[in-house]
Structure 1
Amino acid sequence: MKKKPPIYMALIKLALPLMFIQICQASLGLVDTLLAGQYHYRDLAAVGLASNIWTPIAILITGIMYALVPKFSAANGQQDPAAGAKLLALGKRNAALLSLFGFCLVQAFAFSAPYLIAAQDVAKISQNYLHVVAFAVPGLTYMVLYRFFNEGRGNMRPIALTGALLLVVNSALNLVLVNGYLGFPQLGGLGCGIATAITTYCALAGLIFLSRRSLRALGQPAAQAAPGEAQRLLVEGLPIGIALVLEVLALTALAFFASALGTKVVAAHQVAINIAMVVFMIPVAISSAATIQVSHYRGQSLPSESKRAGLAALTMATLYGAIMTGVILAFGQHIAPWFSDDPEVVALISSLILFIAMFQLVDAIQMVAAGILRGLEEFVKPLVTVLFVYWIVIIPISYFIGVKGWLVEQPNIEQIWLLLTCGLTFAALLLGAQSYLQLNKNLLNPELKTA
């Protein structure tokens, strides 16, 4: 009898470097939040709101550029360096265009901050932060390009090392610039923006340096790109970017709902979101590994192994979610004082940490289920689920109950988070059922879709 492939080990081998990279990136926002909160809760609220404005723009750019990953992978698999060089040239053209688009959009939001944020002292800090962090967008865009170049070639080491560099440099610069150490003035929330801009270009330089051998192996493109090729690549990536950004925009909307409840409330909300995002990076890595493994076996016409890989990933997500729920319930209350010395803010953070614990299990399941569906080339179902759960259910109901106070005596942030937890549970049930049914359907009809 033929020995079955070690599904769990294959998933873990893929997921571990992705976990490290995702945690490093998510920790950047956590460091900003931690140091801004220790400086003043007003700066914490301002940096949090500004981050919720520019992060979706960065994610949109990342999603659009993601269309390069399978193309780099195909060129590498065919041992065609000229095709890889041509793709890199096209990526640079698009990166220049997206850099300009992102820079202008962030600056536009910076000028709009006083009209978007009710508390004008908070709005001023957010505005200054956004003016500075806009200069990070070009560096970030080119960093994404070289990251995806390495991912497409299966070369994770430069990305992992750059992720570590990003976290260390950003933490050090934040500490110095926010608090005014080493002779620098105290910049508060503005210091977070300056640190982000400087760190981005340091990481870009490091990533290019670590990728130099792979870049030299490409040589020069054998043929000039046709005029419309770069635009077609942008159009291919646009649906991916939109799908990624919709969920983030929903969290941004919830942050602005929280801002209507007061500066201390939005400060606590932002801390909770950043804690949740760091914990969430592990399911993101498992989801990416599931996509790779399910599509890998599907490409080899092994639908039974695709199903094994998908179910194994869901099992890993369930175990992780259950463990993290217990850990957060046991130790979460000790985290809140790290972010603020204001008793009211600490109390609010402590209450929201309970909700983070509540939705760990369902959040992990819905993320990994979406990854399985992507591996089966089902892109519409996760997108429709996100649209329905967030934008038709969670956002409207959160606004009317958590902000306007419908059906409750007093609107508060806990109601918004309770509704978020209920929505994530609904999404997990929908996506989990869809992924299981699609794995079984693939088992019965293993024919591949044409590219």
Structure 2
Amino acid sequence: MKFCSWEASRLLRLAAPVFFAQVTLVMMSVVDTIMAGQVSAVDLAALSIATGLWNPVVFALLGILTAITSLVAHSFGAKQDHEIRGHFQQGCYLAIILLLGGLALAQFADIVIDYLDTTAQVKALALDYIDYVQFGLPGFIIYTLLRNVAEGKAYTTPALYISVIGLLVNIPANYIFIYGKFGMPPLGGAGCGVATALVMTAMGLSLLIYSFLSKRLNGQTLFSAFSRPQIKAIWVQTKLGVPISLAIFFEVTLFACIPLFIATLGPIAVAGHQVAASVTTLLFMLPYSLSMAVAIRFGNLYGQQDFVALKRCLGTSFLLAIAIAVFVAAITYAFRYQISSLYSDNPEVIALATSIMVLACFYQLPDALQVVSSGMLRGIKYTNPISYITFVSYWLIGFALGYVLGRTDLIVEPMGPQGFWLGIIVGLSCAAVMLIFTLRRRLAQAPFNF
């Protein structure tokens, strides 16, 4: 692998706005966690369980729409701008289907929550959160649609602008609805659901307005002469997006479902895991942003049929991923105590969270390599292997091993949350190996000539 400073500069310019946008979005979750944790461990546990149910569904549904980014990137690279409007409009029809599916799934949340072995108070707060947050799904789908079009055109800054608006709405909304200010009832951790719904709506409307004001995004053209639904075009997007969606679902649920399986260990175990998961999710935005930039860059270069530049981008991307992984691991280890103390003042929660964060240092390298490899595969529209590789790695290997270590004595005495995180390390390592092998095999085929 060779490192190209110009290519690295290009990737970082694409990744930087994505990174700050994603950090801002994750910061909303961090704010939710901190503010709920300051109320009580019960509120924090309820928030962890509720987001553990809601987030996988939302991100899996919206993951299907990420196919638009690859399609737009190819059309943009090939200078076929007329195709971009068609991708967007057919994506709108697909988004309506996904919206209805997401709202339908939310109605079954009470059934799942009732089966959890936890206190009635935690169950009630978790269900209230989902009841509130679902009203923000239409706004978030609008935001996702327009963001995917913008990023497919290598225009990554709008997401940053809009995410700042979201954060500015999130903090006061959390304060009002968690603690019951300005005449609102105090909802505790469930108030984060109201705040998140307001944030999603504000972000969707803001990006919609921005699209009509921006010449580069050109919202007037996107919405003009709206075509009828085309089953073939919708199916192409679905076929390309479903493997990406499944990969996102498998990865999100790997972390999000752990609280459901450690709920019987009490609020301290759930809260400690939630703190560590929140921190590592925030730091994960560095390799994830690089992955997004790589997918965009690969898509543009593939559309241009510039395979020499594609090979140059590959080597540079992997070397950047390694550097980012080392940096993230160092930050996690060095500041684990200070960061954990921001979330909770409970010594037991802090002790558990910091021990988990030490384990998280060990999966940074395989995680960075696997997520960048996935971005490359998305960029060349070869997404089918991503879904089954992530399923096997995350669930059949990672989660299964984590459950054995965390909840049983088949290998060692039950390790609780730490056992699940050891499983995550093994699962992500397997994913990295399989995705890199798949990418190498694919790029060795014509017309790539790698």
- Taking structure 1 as the reference length, what is the TM-score of the superposition? 0.89
- Looking at structure 1, the residues matched to 299 and 72 of structure 2 have their Cα atoms a distance apart, in angstroms, of 16
Counterpart check, 1:340 vs 2:341: no
Moved more, 207-216 or 152-161: 152-161
Which of 369, 373, 378 aligns to 1:374? It is: 378
- Looking at structure 2, the residues matched to 92 and 376 of structure 1 have their Cα atoms a distance apart, in angstroms, of 23
Q: Is 2:332–2:361's contact at 8 Å kept on the other side of the alignment?
A: yes
Residue type of the partner of 1:121?
Answer: Q
Moved more, 128-137 or 86-95: 86-95
Map residues 207-218 of structure 1 onto 2, 5 A cutoff.
207-213=207-213, 214-218=218-222
Question: Could you report, residue by residue, the CA deviation over 1:220-246 in whole angstroms, capped at 9, with x for unpaired residues?
Answer: 227544466546644543333223212
Counterpart check, 1:147 vs 2:147: yes
Question: Could you report, residue by residue, the CA deviation over 1:294-330 in whole angstroms, capped at 9, with x for unpaired residues?
Answer: 3444444443432221111111111111122122211
Q: Is 1:114–1:124's contact at 8 Å kept on the other side of the alignment?
A: no
Counterpart check, 1:170 vs 2:170: yes
Which of 342, 349, 355 aligns to 2:353? It is: 349
Q: Is 1:49–1:126's contact at 8 Å kept on the other side of the alignment?
A: yes
RMSD of aligned C-alpha atoms?
Answer: 2.5
Residue 45 of structure 1, CA deviation: 0.8
Which of 243, 249, 255 aligns to 1:251? It is: 255
Moved more, 64-73 or 164-173: 64-73
Q: Is 1:49–1:255's contact at 8 Å kept on the other side of the alignment?
A: yes
Residue 131 of structure 1, CA deviation: 0.9
Residue 342 of structure 1, CA deviation: 1.7
Residue 38 of structure 1, CA deviation: 1.2
Moved more, 106-115 or 149-158: 149-158
1:51 aligns with 51
Residue type of the partner of 1:259?
Answer: A
Which runs of no fewer than 5 residues in structure 1 stay unpaired?
none
Q: Is 1:389–1:427's contact at 8 Å kept on the other side of the alignment?
A: yes
Which of 363, 386, 390 aligns to 1:386? It is: 390
- Looking at structure 2, the residues matched to 392 and 85 of structure 1 have their Cα atoms a distance apart, in angstroms, of 40
1:411 aligns with 415
Moved more, 154-163 or 197-206: 154-163
Q: Is 1:260–1:403's contact at 8 Å kept on the other side of the alignment?
A: no
- Looking at structure 2, the residues matched to 321 and 229 of structure 1 have their Cα atoms a distance apart, in angstroms, of 38
SS of the equivalent of 1:260 reads helix
- Looking at structure 2, the residues matched to 388 and 223 of structure 1 have their Cα atoms a distance apart, in angstroms, of 40
Counterpart check, 1:328 vs 2:329: no
Which runs of no fewer than 5 residues in structure 2 stay unpaired?
none
Residue type of the partner of 1:328?
Answer: T
- Looking at structure 2, the residues matched to 303 and 84 of structure 1 have their Cα atoms a distance apart, in angstroms, of 23
Residue type of the partner of 2:103?
Answer: F
- Looking at structure 1, the residues matched to 15 and 424 of structure 2 have their Cα atoms a distance apart, in angstroms, of 27
Residue 86 of structure 1, CA deviation: 4.6
2:95 aligns with 95
Moved more, 217-226 or 252-261: 217-226
Q: Is 1:111–1:127's contact at 8 Å kept on the other side of the alignment?
A: no
Residue type of the partner of 2:364?
Answer: Q
SS of the equivalent of 1:211 reads helix
- Looking at structure 2, the residues matched to 381 and 112 of structure 1 have their Cα atoms a distance apart, in angstroms, of 30
Question: Could you report, residue by residue, the CA deviation over 1:202-233 in whole angstroms, capped at 9, with x for unpaired residues?
Answer: 11111111111322234622754446654664
Residue type of the partner of 1:370?
Answer: S
Q: 1:428 to 1:447 in 2, by over 3 A?
A: closer
Question: Could you report, residue by residue, the CA deviation over 1:317-358 in whole angstroms, capped at 9, with x for unpaired residues?
Answer: 111111221222111111112111222111111211111222
- Taking structure 2 as the reference length, what is the TM-score of the superposition? 0.89
Q: 1:159 to 1:233 in 2, by over 3 A?
A: same
Q: Is 2:14–2:156's contact at 8 Å kept on the other side of the alignment?
A: no
- Looking at structure 2, the residues matched to 295 and 182 of structure 1 have their Cα atoms a distance apart, in angstroms, of 49
1:28 aligns with 28
Aligned length in residues: 440
Q: 1:17 to 1:346 in 2, by over 3 A?
A: same
- Looking at structure 2, the residues matched to 71 and 12 of structure 1 have their Cα atoms a distance apart, in angstroms, of 22
- Looking at structure 2, the residues matched to 34 and 157 of structure 1 have their Cα atoms a distance apart, in angstroms, of 28
Residue type of the partner of 1:405?
Answer: D
2:310 aligns with 306
1:446 aligns with 447
Counterpart check, 1:78 vs 2:118: no
2:367 aligns with 363
Which of 427, 433, 437 aligns to 1:429? It is: 433
Residue type of the partner of 2:352?
Answer: L
1:19 aligns with 19
Question: Could you report, residue by residue, the CA deviation over 1:63-99 in whole angstroms, capped at 9, with x for unpaired residues?
Answer: 222233344456663242xx55554443333322222
Residue 16 of structure 1, CA deviation: 1.0
- Looking at structure 1, the residues matched to 154 and 192 of structure 2 have their Cα atoms a distance apart, in angstroms, of 33
- Looking at structure 1, the residues matched to 319 and 67 of structure 2 have their Cα atoms a distance apart, in angstroms, of 29
Q: 1:158 to 1:112 in 2, by over 3 A?
A: same
Residue 255 of structure 1, CA deviation: 2.6
2:286 aligns with 282
SS of the equivalent of 1:35 reads helix
Residue type of the partner of 1:446?
Answer: P
Q: Is 2:295–2:378's contact at 8 Å kept on the other side of the alignment?
A: yes
- Looking at structure 2, the residues matched to 85 and 320 of structure 1 have their Cα atoms a distance apart, in angstroms, of 36
